[in-house]
Amino acid sequence: VNLPPERDLPPAAHTALRERVVAEVGAPPRRRWVPLAAAAAALAVVGGSAVAVGRDRGPDRAPAVTGAPAAPCRADVGRPEVGVTFDDDFGSLVLRAGPRGDIVCAVSPDGAVTLRESAGNGQFSAEPLGREAAALNAFVYGSGGAVGDDGQRLAGLMAAGYVRADVARVVVAWPGWAAVDAAIDGPLYVARVVQPVGTIPPGLLAGTATAYDRDGQELGSVPLTHQAGTDPVTRHRCAAADATATGSGLLARFTDAHGVVVWVGDAKDSTLCEFDERDGVVSEGQLGTMDPAGYLPGRRAAVQPRSWGNGELGPGGPATRHAAGQVRRGVTRLVITWAGAPPVTVPVKGPYWVARVVLPAGDHPVQTPAEVLAYDAAGTLVGRDQILG
């Protein structure tokens, strides 16, 4: 190929660009987090700090433990309530749990809540571990994405669960990638780690949470299996996809005034990716991993929701609800009504569908049921189902 010859930067441009990048060296770090969307029944994680890679016993720094949950993350989770806060360079991750439910919030260093989400779908309401139980468990293993104002894509992983009373330290590790000391407060622990997407080794799916006593003796460990939500591999998929995704990898697309949601993947493993425009920032994220194969059993219902999730269009921005699923042949239109929101009409072309509703900013319920109605081309109602949390 006969390429044009190489050229120098024009002198004026060279000077201007040089001054700009040199000035950056002395500038304070800037980072603006854009939480994307949470995984169904799990959560997204925004912000965080990554530490040493490949250490068996985790990093040496002391766990970041604070007492009172952050005020912005208040929710009616019932009494008695337990909470734990993980602090890092980019803010806090707050987990609160009680008999009625649980909630996790990401709080930026300036106090803004950038994520507010159900964490374990009620699992944290279970009783804390007794004296004879295993040293720890892992109720949540979620992940999500964020972008800084420089466009750098970051991916976060989180783990949380209960610990026995004699546990003094929990190290959450993804072998070959990162390890971090969890914060422990009472019966709960929580940890998160965020790294640039490109650092995630292919195939990294599971980590380990290991508990130690005050003397450093290992008390036990649990695998962080992919319970719900996204895994690092799906993050790669969204990073590679864009709003114009086409071809066999595209299962469904939904467009509204705020942007585009695409469902990409294959029959065994798929991902929802969100592309939004807000204040000029395009955000991307994963909503969850779904297995669209074989979930229309026996009688093949006209419509069946497969997954749902909550999110926000940027920090403090409008709240979102997402759902995705499958329809029987002949269904051409869905109407989905989330509680308290106007109906959303979804044209359906294939067996898969995805939809989103955008709600005003502010506190929103941890879980929201919705109803989905299926119509054929003649406008006849042919099926209905509920989207449950």
> Which residues sit at the interface with another protein, rule CB under 8 A?
1-14, 17-18, 20-26, 29, 148, 150-152, 196, 198-199, 240, 242, 277, 280, 282
**Distance separating alpha carbons of residues 134 and 131, to the nearest angstrom:** 8
> Minimum distance from CB of 176 to another protein (Å)?
13
**How far from 320 is each of 11, 306, 365, CA to CA, in Å?**
48, 17, 11
For another protein, the closer of residues 14 and 268 by Cβ is 14
User: 333 forms bridges with which residues in the sheet?
Assistant: 347, 375
> Minimum distance from CB of 78 to another protein (Å)?
42
For another protein, the closer of residues 215 and 279 by Cβ is 279
> Minimum distance from CB of 246 to another protein (Å)?
14
> Minimum distance from CB of 6 to another protein (Å)?
5
For another protein, the closer of residues 194 and 372 by Cβ is 194
For another protein, the closer of residues 6 and 110 by Cβ is 6
For another protein, the closer of residues 49 and 230 by Cβ is 49
Sign for the CA dihedral angle at 235, 307, 49, 190 comes to negative
> Minimum distance from CB of 264 to another protein (Å)?
15
Tokens of 87: 């602090």
For another protein, the closer of residues 45 and 154 by Cβ is 154
> Minimum distance from CB of 148 to another protein (Å)?
7
> Minimum distance from CB of 300 to another protein (Å)?
36
Position 41, amino acid: A
For another protein, the closer of residues 114 and 195 by Cβ is 195
Q: Residue 130 half-sphere exposure, CB side, CA atoms within 13 Å? A: 3
